[in-house]
Amino acid sequence: GSEMCIRDSPLLRGKVIGGIYDNRFLIKLTKSATALLPEASLEIPYEGAKKMLLVDQLDDKALLSRLLQAMYEELPAPKKKRN
């Protein structure tokens, strides 16, 4: 369907916003993410990685939509690969 499935793709139109780590949906620490998820806990996705925000309101589609939209606009465009 046309419904966006976050689980399948942490890439949002070419930008990495986060990912699934040990059944946790973790996203990059951005201003918009912390503003929209003030209660979210900080977790380390894997050894040696920077802390990321834990998203546990996965049923709140409206919040997730706002969150991803805000993060997308905030994150830098992906670097073009040179051949």
Q: Model confidence at 15, in pLDDT bands (50, 70, 90)?
A: confident
pLDDT computed for residue 3 by the predictor: 46
Interval 76-83 mean pLDDT? 74
pLDDT computed for residue 8 by the predictor: 47
> Which of 48, 55, 49 minimizes the C-alpha distance to 23?
55
Q: Per residue in 33-57, pLDDT tens?
A: 999 999 999 999 999 999 999 999 8
| pTM for the structure as a whole | 0.75
